Amino acid sequence: MRVVLVVVLLALGGCRCKPTPVEVPAVVKVPRVTTTWAPHEVAAVPDDVYGVPAWSKVFALAFERKISIGVPSCHVDGGCLAVDPMQLRGAPMVSQERILGRDEPLAFIGEQVTFLEAPDRRARLDQAIAEAMTIDPSTAPLAAVLFQNDLWERVDAITAAIRNEPGADWAVLQDLRKKLVTLMKRVALTKEQLATIASNESAVTRRYAELLAGFGERDGWAELVSQSTEHRGSTVWQRTTRHAERHGYRSVFRVFIHHAQGRAVLSQALTRWPEPLPAGTRFVITGAPMALLTDGSIEPAPFITLLETRQARAEGFIPTQIGTLDHDVLEGSRVSLTRDSGGLERLGRDALIPVGATCMPDFTSRLPSASTCLMCHGPTGARITGPMAHGETRFELTDDQTAAARAVADAKRASESFQTLGW
């Protein structure tokens, strides 16, 4: 195994729970809108997101709610593609009603659960859970992985609400949590069943060849893993990404880099971190759900549900238009993943996603996708980000394809939320 180890002392100020933007003149500040739920009735037959109607009904009833969010005025006023991303900062936001809990990434839906206490919703959800218990997961293994991961989020969110929200009706939520855990077990796959699911990385690479040449075959691409300490002087090394931490260690994120002149150029550049990587370096981060299996193990899904990519611009580059930023997001909706072999859709650069994107999503306000990235990756996007810790950070190029997922599974297993799951 070829391994390059780089140890760097990092001295970013502030706390680990809020990322400190790196070299960023363009931190996008948006006014927060207050979150209140508007009345919302879930359809008797909700959209079939998994290709398994009984599961889709549980999904809608467990997640759907209507709130008011903030969006930039260009979104309702001619489009944002030609807008200067730096100017979005001062631009007015407008309020828009939106139903959360439809077919979008879990982290964008937000972690609220107390709306599930309403008696009508509870009764319908209980009934939908009972119906979902009758489905054999081997009839739809890929959908079962997605559905179980969605349920897992609800269970962890309920655990957090019972502990942190003084107004939560813990008896009601506790009862629901028990039923959701039972359903998670019912839809768990065996190791063999998980192994029958094919990877979609080659198909995604072929479909988006202009962004991902050679990625599926790892031709010229190297995987980067990072380790970090919480604060200077700490001896506890975290081995997961900040993305994985924010996703409650229910998803694994892997980071890859590519330079036309080869791996040696990247290894060299990493020794000089936090200096920017050479212009033209390509960066990819992928996300995949973790699955809880019948034998009690935690394994990554063999397919990815998200891929984000950017390209390093030369020093001094100043972005002028959102539409020309080399920041792209390929997203796997439940529908596209369960119906289509490639399964990821390229978002428009002006598609609205939460401020903080996938790393630190804030579901109450959204910005054009390509402009959100500047907040953390700066105007040139040329620096390897790392987990934005405040102690030490180490980077390592590795050929061990399981390292990232093992680290996430270990972190989950050690967490309190897992210990109370009774898996």
Interacting residues with ligand HEC (CB under 6 A): 19, 241-243, 253, 255, 283-285, 308-310, 327, 329, 356-357, 359-360, 369, 372-373, 375-377, 384-388
User: Which of 19/342 has CB closer to ligand HEC?
Assistant: 19
Sign, CA dihedral 343-346-351-357, equals positive
> Which CB contacts under 8 angstroms, 24+ apart, belong to 95-99?
95/33, 95/68, 95/69, 95/70, 95/71, 96/68, 96/69, 96/70, 96/71, 97/38, 97/66, 97/67, 97/68, 98/66, 98/67, 98/68, 98/69, 99/40, 99/64, 99/65, 99/66
User: Which of 46/105 has CB closer to ligand HEC?
Assistant: 105
The SS3 of residue 103 is coil
User: Which of 3/45 has CB closer to ligand HEC?
Assistant: 3
Least distance to ligand HEC, CB of residue 327, Å:
4
Q: Identify the bridge partners of residue 421 per DSSP, sorted by sequence position.
A: none
User: Which of 58/397 has CB closer to ligand HEC?
Assistant: 397
User: Which of 54/265 has CB closer to ligand HEC?
Assistant: 265
Nearest to 61 by CA among 112, 109, 129: 129
Least distance to ligand HEC, CB of residue 372, Å:
5
Burial of 25 (0-12, 13-18, 19+ CB in 10 A): exposed
Distances (CA, A) of 391 to 4, 12, 240, 318: 20, 8, 15, 30
Give the H or E element holding residue 343: none
Least distance to ligand HEC, CB of residue 329, Å:
5
Which amino acid does the sequence have at 218?
A: R
Q: 187: which 2 tokens?
A: 């839809």
Least distance to ligand HEC, CB of residue 262, Å:
18
Q: What is the DSSP letter of 168?
A: S
User: Which of 103/328 has CB closer to ligand HEC?
Assistant: 328
User: Which of 12/133 has CB closer to ligand HEC?
Assistant: 12
373, 328 Cβ separation under 8 angstroms: no
User: Which of 192/275 has CB closer to ligand HEC?
Assistant: 275
User: Which of 56/251 has CB closer to ligand HEC?
Assistant: 251
Which amino acid does the sequence have at 217?
A: E
Q: 249: which 2 tokens?
A: 């260690």
The SS3 of residue 298 is strand
CB-based contacts of 26: which residues, under 8 Å, 6+ apart? 85, 86, 89, 374, 375, 378, 379
Least distance to ligand HEC, CB of residue 395, Å:
9
Least distance to ligand HEC, CB of residue 3, Å:
18
Which amino acid does the sequence have at 11?
A: A
Helix ranges restricted to H, 38-118: 53-63, 106-109
Least distance to ligand HEC, CB of residue 223, Å:
11
Least distance to ligand HEC, CB of residue 72, Å:
15
Q: How far apart are the first and last CA of the chain?
A: 34
Least distance to ligand HEC, CB of residue 167, Å:
29
CA 417: distance to chain centroid? 19
User: Which of 49/376 has CB closer to ligand HEC?
Assistant: 376
Least distance to ligand HEC, CB of residue 308, Å:
4
Q: Give CA–CA dist 28/356, Å, rounded.
A: 10
User: Which of 112/227 has CB closer to ligand HEC?
Assistant: 227
417, 408 Cβ separation under 8 angstroms: no
Least distance to ligand HEC, CB of residue 374, Å:
8
